[in-house]
Amino acid sequence: MICKLETISISSIDTEDTTYRITTPLPDSDLVRSISDIGIINPPILKQKGSKYSIISGFRRVEVCSELRCNKLECRIPGSDTSEINLIKIAISENSLQRPLNLIEQSRALNLISFYFDNDNLLKEASALGLPGNLTRIKGMKILVQLPQIVQEGIISGNISYAIAQELHKLPVKACTSIACLFRELKVGLNKQKEILNFAVEIAAREEIELTDVLEDRVLEKIINNDDIDRNQKTGKIRHYLKKKRYPAITAAEAEFLKNIKDLNLDNHTRLIPPKDFEGITYSMNMSFNNIQELKERKELLEKILQNPVIKNILN
């Protein structure tokens, strides 16, 4: 690509035109220091648009120069015959060469190039630009920029996983935002995110209420706003509360089982395992031992268990 270097007045750059923007906001302290000390090393790329200029690449550089009250800026200007798709490729490659693009940046890039190619050529172009080269993945990636801003921020920070983002896309905006706020507060992993989201969705469906009504439950709000417990404790209490609301019978059976287990006085080498979801009648017991003596001790414990009336409460 042939570009000519021109000194452009910053006031003539249309910073509101984000057509080609790929990057997401990042802390600018290092960039401010660098530009203040040594100036611009890699000039921004601009496209002339009448008497104004649109930014192809270098949004942050232009923003920092504006903050530093620079009046003019040396920029690269592609030839007027440069096609739109080539400008888009320039925007993507200029950013991806500096660092790996995050999920939201990849989503923006895929949305930009998807308009110009059929599926087969899209895969080739995406791969060439370092973007996902799988149609299913591309389809999933493209929807990320359609999510509310708070969800996008959660994806960038890692507080919301890609898999959960796909599920949030199916929800109304208000519910989607509420879930994102909750996950931002808890900072939990994928499995716990799935569990909390599934419980909330199923409770809303069963009780025929809005998902936001489940999430704005007073008990949940009290847990979230409790400054005396940490995130792990909040997560545990929220999961337990939602599970209790979703499966009241199972939760009650589990609580009763745990109480009985405590009364059995099992040692650390013995486990009584209930049927899954307490829906069957078959229990199993796990006893670990390293030698004959320990096996004898387990046998004695088993005899005590059989004589303990609590075991009848469990098995009846």
Please give the Cα distance from 194 to 171 (Å, whole number).
14
**pLDDT in the model for residue 164:** 94
- The answer to whether residues 83 and 105 belong to one domain is yes
Q: What is the pTM of this model?
A: 0.75
109 within a domain of the structure (yes/no): yes
**pLDDT in the model for residue 256:** 84
- The answer to whether residues 213 and 177 belong to one domain is yes
Helix, strand, coil shares of the chain, percent, nearest 5, are 60, 10, 30
205 within a domain of the structure (yes/no): yes
Q: Residue written as tokens 């009364």?
A: 263
- The answer to whether residues 132 and 152 belong to one domain is no
**pLDDT in the model for residue 29:** 64
Last residue of a domain, one of 111, 126, 144: 144
- The answer to whether residues 11 and 133 belong to one domain is yes
Please give the Cα distance from 2 to 249 (Å, whole number).
71
Q: Residue by residue, what is the 3-state secondary structure of 246-259?
A: HCHHHHHHHHHHHH
- The answer to whether residues 80 and 113 belong to one domain is yes
The first and second tokens of residue 63, run together, are: 């923003």
Please give the Cα distance from 196 to 187 (Å, whole number).
12
The answer to whether residues 142 and 110 touch, using CB atoms and an 8 Å cutoff, is yes
- The answer to whether residues 7 and 140 belong to one domain is yes
Q: What is the pLDDT along the chain (316 residues), one digit of tens a residue?
A: 678 888 889 999 998 999 999 988 765 667 777 777 677 788 899 998 888 999 999 888 888 888 888 888 889 999 888 999 999 999 999 888 778 899 999 999 999 999 899 888 999 999 988 898 889 999 999 999 999 999 999 999 989 999 999 999 999 999 999 999 999 999 999 999 999 999 999 999 989 999 999 999 899 999 999 999 999 999 999 998 999 888 888 877 888 888 888 888 888 899 999 888 777 889 999 999 999 999 999 999 999 989 998 898 888 7
- Domain span at residue 311? 264-315
188 within a domain of the structure (yes/no): yes
**pLDDT in the model for residue 1:** 61
Backbone angles phi, psi at 143, to 5 degrees: -75, -10
CA 80 vs CA 48, 57, 113: distances in Å: 8, 16, 20
CA torsion 228-229-231-232 (nearest 10°) is: 170
